[in-house]
Structure 1
Amino acid sequence: MVVAYTRLFEPIKIGKVEIKNKIAMAPMGVLGLATQDGCFSKRVVDYYVERAKGGTGLIITSVTKVDNEIERFKAGAVPVATVNPLHFIATAGELTERVHAYGTKIFLQLGMGFGRVAAPILLESQPVAPSAIPNFWDPSITCRELTTAEVETLVQRASEAAEIAVEAGFDGVEIHAMHEGYLLDQFTIALFNRRGDKYGGALEDRLTFPIEIVRAIKDRVGKDFPVVLRFSIKNYIKDWRQGGLPGENFQEKGRDVEEALAAAKILEGAGYDGFDADAGSYDAWYWAHPPVYQKHGCYLPLTQRLKEVVKVPVIVAGRLEIPELAEEALVKGQADMIAIGRGLLTDPYWVNKVMTGRSKNIRPCIGCHDGCLGRGFLGRPLSCTVNPACGREEEYAIDRAPEAKQVMVIGGGVAGMEAARVAALRGHRVSLYEKSDRLGGHVVEAAVPDFKADDGRLLEWYKTELGELQVEIHLNQEVTPDFVQQQNPDAVIVATGSTPAIPDIAGINKDKVTTVSDLLLGKKQAGGRVVIIGGGLAGCETALWLAQQGKDVTIIEILDDLMRAGIPVPYMNRMMLLDLLKMNGVKWLTETSVLEVTDDGVTLISKTYQRSTLPADTVILAVGFAADQRLYNALRDKIPNLYLIGDSREPRNILAAIWEGYEVGRGI
């Protein structure tokens, strides 16, 4: 076996702990998977063990609070090491034993609290902070300022939690976090810290809290036990609850690069054994959790600066799941270790696939956040849009079927392809029929903008997998009810997708009118002045794409804000897209409808019945899709074992399509 990416697979030491390769699993919250007493559930154990089996060198766990008295979270919201230490050691001990069997090291991430960024719905008490400042999610709520004694208690609890980590078999701890604007970070940022005690004032004083933590841990468990710091090199805070975009010229109100570099040297001197570096804050959440609109490797220019001033290892994440980019970052000296977050949710075997030359088989992350953080906002457990088994690895695994069956899949969008893939993995004989000349459904057009290239990577992955599984693929073949009955399959999965909805508007049939789908597929071209009817995700992304081409774009939306209908767009994706629309000059009118498409443009009517006109060379329809159930309805009383999935059931998002395909394919 020849390993193509040699730097990725070199061992590395953090402190005196040697790690077998330079790939870490970035810390991500195990939302909804903690037990009621703050311990790791069996699902959490299975989740991390799967990534160890996949070859990951270092796993950094989800944030585990060191205390739940000073900032009281509701039971089970997040793990807490000190609520039931004996049970925590028992469950975490099983985790570390199993992970270690695969030669993987594992660090427990310890959190001091959330502070101003704690969602009130998770709290059983008033939110706390370094000073009396507004809560991020509900600015009408003022956070309670922590007393000096309470901060000292958190330092003590951190050392106790580190001792618990040692007892549970962890190889080190990571302190969460002087990053993303969590409680510890709030103490270090002057914007949030107005204290007059030893924890406030100049930079050195604002660093007292993280310095006391590392010293207390080293005093309690020994200087050789590694302590890494999660560390944001730049906050990108333009103002309260306002982030700064890549390339935007703004005054940093949080921690800028020069202050971060000065802080890093002080913190290294205090005893930290490494920096797990990134950028951002809740005010600029699209940096801390980079969505599809951020470039791959978005933190690398910052970590390159950090490496110039510290000697301890620097770990970096930031959409580095593309192997070539990860290897290049190590070769260029931009980092010492690569952390992969969502890329290990989509494919826990990322490491082994890269090592064995199977990079084309890596299931890609599409940067949507729907399955990971988006599910947290819906009150549902952590998972992944393109990997439905994430977070439920054992109970939702794909097993061989007791009997091989003939399965017909009708429709080659992501729902149909996923159903075909999973059914084939089960050992069934699968035939997939697609009426157009290519696979992918609406994802084909969605992948056209440069910033949606990862959607295209997903489609290529499906084609690779279906080819290797020997799924029979029939393109340019529209299936009829008679054809299905002639083939007489054991199971039929209808995934015929959806068609663009056409609103009942005067003039809608004019040549200047097109759908988002036809525009992106190149069937129609946009003129210089564009009106988009519909401010959902598809309309907004199309508006950005056209504005980046120099078009004058206006979005017309009947609701009171953009991207508010249907399944919620995850917060970081929505905020970055809105900010990008503003930066690129896109205009929008809310609570407004189009009455008529005219030769000159469109006639509008507002919520208060005020009419106006807007010139337009092109009018684009982005008002959603209508399910195509014609074939299903023709078959429903004639075919047993008939299933309806994806957009043909109800137009939604990629997550719904893939998850239904997985569920049905797994159930046959």
Structure 2
Amino acid sequence: MQLFAHSVDDEKSVRRQDPLLTPFAIKRVILKNRIISTSHASGLTEGDFPQERYQRYHEEKAIGGIAMSMFGGSSNVGIDSPSVFRQINMGVDEVVPHLQQFSARMHAHGTALMCQLTHMGRRGSPYEGAWLPAIAPSARRETLHRSIPREMTERDIHRVIRYFGQAASRCRQAGLDGLETLAGGHLLGQFLSPSVNVRTDRYGGSLENRCRFILRVHEEIRKQVGEDFVVGIRYAIEDGLDFEESVRAAGILERSGLFDFFNVVYGRMDTAQALITDNMPTMSMPSSPWLQKAAAFKKEVRLPVFHAAKIADLATARYAISEGLLDLVGMTRAHMADPHLVRKLMEGREHEVRPCVGASFCRSHETACIHNPSTGRETWLPHEVDRSPGPCRKVVVVGAGPAGLEAARVAALRGHEVVLLEAGSRPGGQVLLAALASWRKDILGVIQWRVDALTRLGVDIRLNSYADAADVTGLEPDTVIVATGGIPWLDELEGHEHCLSVVDALTQQPPSGGEVLVYDGTGRHNAYVCAERHALAGRQVTLVTLDGQLGMELGGRGDDIVWRRKLTELGVHVRHDLRLISVSAVSGRRRAAFVHELTGATIALEADHVVVELGVLPVCDVYDDLKPASVNDGELDLDKFAKGVPQAWPAAGPGKRFELYRIGDAHASRDIHASIYEAFRLCRLS
């Protein structure tokens, strides 16, 4: 197709004109462009070390053209800084061979590699690793990680300094291009913060004294690695210090001559709320929320400045570099969504980059992107989709939610003729309802990217097409994929006729008056979206949950915190541990009867309107009607599917005309990632 074509001259023109593709030097390290991935704990370590799966995850970014990948978020340097979220153990020599293999792998693609070193201090756990007490400048507990540390002695200080030096030496031995230490929230940053460090010796009190520990650590690092090795610090602005004090402290560090760059983050990370708004902003935060803070910091220092915090698109990254706000721009989560984004930029295909929608799914699922099933699975699931070696098949996909769209996309990339049938007037399925939340509109990127891809691929998309079995068979398919989603599961609830499902409530205008009771029986987003929508319309809302807290199925990625804040701000009254057993009509109102999960007591609550979320049941009508004509009776060979082996079925014969599969919520009620992962695995081998 002409749309995909580009010439070598086009590529050279992009390189000449785009500031993101200009090189940058830090000492002996020459970076081929300005885009990097910053250190994060990927959860892919095996036996405390970065082995094949860990390395392949980063190598994919190198294949995709990134200038530098920084790895090992919170890599621990010593025995009393244990792994609490599958970090790398940089405190032992056994790590070196793994790092050597890693650096060779990355350098083969012309990509630099740097490691992050830390001691977690009070963020560590006394119940992990060797079960040693957490240590900190002073005995001040962190709200998030909860350990009560003991105050460090001079002997502790000398020991930890030695740990950092030894870990740095291992980085040099391994052939890495550099390293950074981590200040924000961790031990180095804890010494800087006057709310954590209340010492009265030479390591506490004045700002100069509070910088002393960091300086001594970096003196030892420099002693171990030499002057030519790149050494920087991941430095937090306004983490216990105001902006002016943050700049003053940075000046003290800069004047020491021990540092080669500042990798700047913003704010605190010692509470769950701070973590998802400051350091790791979620979908609830605007794009690049701390870029201007980082730019203001850069004006005050001479060293190169990097920054990453929800810089999810190339346009924002380009602005940051072209305006001199940053020297290198971190696009870490953006590379989880699309590790080939730099290559696509170089080839003039920026419009094809899979967007990071900020769902933070990667925070709690081993770097898995909510809509890129290959990320973190590179050892068995390639990012690229090859054309099928077999004959072109006609594939009919029924349903254009995330699963159906992905199935159609991958089948088309395989070279098959694809027809996509959607009963509604818009593709998207339940994602359209998810986007009704005040802060989740970016989730539509999951849908729009696929619609754009299908348009480029020439897929026949038929909206407003409520297809039955005859419609499908009339298209003479070789393969049928049913992705018809699910319908609200209310029929088994006594008195279901007196309430609305969350789906129905979200597709209607909120009632003009009265109290609304919303019941959450799943711990997913839908009930909270509905409660928020009714509260914003001025209704008095009570949210009742089956679970003991909000968001039990949201994966621990911070969305539960966002909802707690939003619903509190809106005055939504929340009650927990109640199982809905019936709804009845009483004097023009609705009475909902519950059983308390902990006490067994029965409780009745009244409201003018009751909305219920109990999940969905698969819509199977078309699937069931098509099964008799399928060669596989509509079933997967699960062993082959799980192993990534193509399905193998008898050729079509009398009465058996096509392969038939169902995916997504038409198979079972699950999340977006599971649906897309299922579609991708099925279709990439067809």
Structure 1-normalised TM-score? 0.86
Using a 3 Å threshold, how does the CA distance of structure 1 residues 525 and 61 change in structure 2: closer, same or farther? same
The residue type equivalent to 1:417 in the other structure is L
Q: Deviations over 1:119-141 (max 9, x none)?
A: 667533134131344465674x5
Matching of residue 71 in structure 1 with residue 81 in structure 2:
yes
SS of the counterpart of 1:667?
coil
Question: Displacement, 1:654?
Answer: 0.8
> Contact 2:26/2:260 (CA < 8 Å) preserved in 1?
yes
Deviations 1:489-519 (A, max 9, x none): 3332221101233366787656xx6544345
Do residues 457 (structure 1) and 445 (structure 2) align? yes
Q: 1:311 to 1:661 in 2, by over 3 A?
A: same
Counterpart residue identity of residue 676, structure 2 = I
1:258 is matched with 244
Distance 1:71 1:28, change over 3 A: closer
1:303 is aligned to 2:294: yes
Correspondence for 1:626: 617
Report the Cα distance in structure 2 between the residues aligned to 1:7 and 1:599, rounded to whole angstroms. 68
Shift of 1:625: 2.2
Deviates more, 1:342-351 or 1:445-454: 445-454
1:178 to 151, 174, 183: 183
Corresponding residue for 2:677?
659
Of the three residues 86, 90, 96, the one matched with 1:81 is 90
**Residues 11, 92 of structure 1: alpha-carbon distance in 2 compared, 3 angstrom cutoff:** same
Match of 2:197 in 1: 193
| Matched ranges for 1:365-514 at <5 A | 365-370=356-361, 372-375=362-365, 381-397=366-382, 398-404=385-391, 405-502=393-490, 509=497, 514=500
Residues 334, 528 of structure 1: CA spacing in aligned structure 2 closer, same or farther, 3 A cutoff?
A: farther
Q: How do residues 518-557 of structure 1 correspond to structure 2 at under 5 angstroms?
A: 518-521=504-507, 523-527=508-512, 531-535=516-520, 536=523, 537-548=525-536, 552-557=540-545
Residues 1:466 and 1:100: Cα distance change in structure 2 (over 3 Å): same
Seen in structure 2, the aligned counterparts of structure 1 residues 446 and 93 have a Cα distance that, compared at 3 Å, is: same
Q: Is the 8 A contact 1:64 1:108 kept in 2?
A: no
Contact 2:81–2:124 under 8 Å retained in 1: no
Q: Which amino acid aligns with 1:109?
A: Q
Contact 2:35–2:68 (Cα < 8 Å) also in 1: yes
Counterpart of 1:34?
45
Residue aligning to 2:668: 650
Q: Choose the corresponding residue for 1:165, options 165, 171, 185.
A: 171
Letter in 1 for 2:340: Y
CA distance in 1, matches of 2:306, 2:586: 57
Mapped partners of 1:425, 1:295: distance in 2: 33
Question: Who is 1:589 aligned against?
Answer: 575
Q: 1 CA distance for matches of 2:513 and 2:245?
A: 45
Counterpart pick for 2:333 among 339, 342, 354? 342
State the Cα deviation string for residues 240-268 of structure 1 (Å, max 9, x = none).
Answer: xxxxxxxxxxxxxx333333222222222
Give ranges in structure 2 of 5+ residues lacking alignment. 1-9, 633-658
Counterpart residue type for residue 406 of structure 1: K
Contact conserved, 2:65 with 2:342, CA < 8 A, in 1?
yes
Question: 1:13 aligned to 2:20?
Answer: no
What percent identity do the matched residue pairs reach?
29
8 Å CA contact retained: 1:148, 1:197: no
C-alpha displacement at 1:574, in angstroms? 1.4
Does the 8 Å CA contact 2:517/2:542 hold for their aligned counterparts? Answer: yes
Does the alignment pair 1:274 with 2:261?
Answer: yes
Aligned partners of 2:215 and 2:253 also within 8 Å:
yes
Equivalent residues of 1:529, 1:553 under 8 A apart: no
**How far apart in 2 are the matches of 1:188 and 1:597?**
61
2: distance between equivalents of 1:597 and 1:127?
Answer: 58
Pairing 1:320–2:311 present: yes
Matching residue's letter, 1:12: F
For 1:584-628, what per-residue CA distance to the aligned partner results, in whole angstroms no more than 9, with x for missing partners? Answer: 3333233455744667654355634354544x5x65444432221
Hey, what's the Cα distance between the residues in 2 that align with 1:501 and 1:366?
Answer: 29
Tell me the matched-pair count: 628
What does residue 3 of structure 1 align with? 14
Q: Measure, in 1, the Cα distance between the counterparts of 2:252 and 2:152.
A: 24
Aligned partner letter, 2:154: T
**Pair 132,634 (structure 1): closer, same or farther in 2 beyond 3 Å:** farther
Q: Using the alignment, how far apart are the partners of 2:313 and 2:418 within structure 1?
A: 31
Structure 1, 157-166 or 291-300: larger mean CA deviation: 157-166
Equivalent residues of 1:66, 1:154 under 8 A apart: no
Q: Which residue of 2 aligns with 1:220?
A: 224
- Aligned letter for 1:385? I
TM-score where L is the length of structure 2: 0.84
Correspondence for 2:213: 209
Instruction: Note closer, same or farther for the CA distance 1:527–1:309 as it changes in structure 2 (3 Å cut).
Output: farther
Find the structure with the greater CA-based Rg.
Answer: 2
With over 3 angstroms needed to count, the CA separation of the structure-2 counterparts of 1:602 and 1:16, relative to structure 1, is farther
1:57-68 equivalences in 2 (<5 Å):
57-63=67-73, 65-68=75-78
Measure, in 2, the Cα distance between the counterparts of 1:17 and 1:660.
Answer: 42
Distance 1:461 1:508, change over 3 A: same
User: Does the 8 Å contact 2:121/2:187 carry over to 1?
Assistant: yes
Post-superposition offset of 1:656: 1.1
State the partner residue of 1:150.
156
Unaligned runs of 5+ in 1: 236-253, 376-380
1:354 & 1:597 partners in 2: Cα distance?
60
Aligned residue number for residue 62 of structure 2:
52
| Distance in 2, Cα, partners of 1:600 & 1:155 | 72
What is the deviation of 1:486?
A: 4.5
SS of aligned partner of 1:24: strand
Q: RMSD in angstroms over aligned alpha carbons?
A: 2.9
Whether the 8 Å contact between 1:65 and 1:79 is mirrored in structure 2 is yes
Displacement of 1:149 = 2.0
* Number of the residue aligned with 1:243: none
Q: Out of 285-294 and 395-404, give the one that drifted further.
A: 395-404
| 1:153 positional shift | 2.1
